[in-house]
Amino acid sequence: MPDDEKRRFAEALEHWAEALNAIRARDRAEAIAQVEERRSMHLMRAFHASALWEHYAWKRRGQG
């Protein structure tokens, strides 16, 4: 394989690797955001189901 062809192949391979890394980073960021959203929803549900919510709601009504 001639040197210029080897160089072009190496450049194409490097470009492909960079594109793959960008796709993986985007997918990882989206997965993290989804996990954080689910965690937030879970915490909110747990708070609303707890006695703390009752206490907080009671105080907000001006009875505390």
Query: What are φ and ψ of residue 2, in 5° steps?
Result: -65, 155
Are 47 and 53 in contact, with CB atoms under 8 Å apart? yes
- Residues 10-58: tens digit of each pLDDT: 999 999 999 999 999 999 999 999 999 999 999 988 888 887 777 777 7
Query: CB atoms < 10 A from the CB of 53, how many?
Result: 13
Q: Residue 59's pLDDT is what?
A: 72
Confidence label for 63 from pLDDT (cuts 50, 70 and 90):
low
- Domain extent, residue 24, equals 3-63
Q: Residue 47's pLDDT is what?
A: 80
For the entire predicted model, the pTM comes to 0.62
| Measured distance between the N- and C-terminal CA atoms of the chain, rounded to whole angstroms | 82
Dihedral sign (CA 53, 54, 60, 64): negative
User: How many domains is the chain built from?
Assistant: 1
More confident call, 10 vs 59: 10
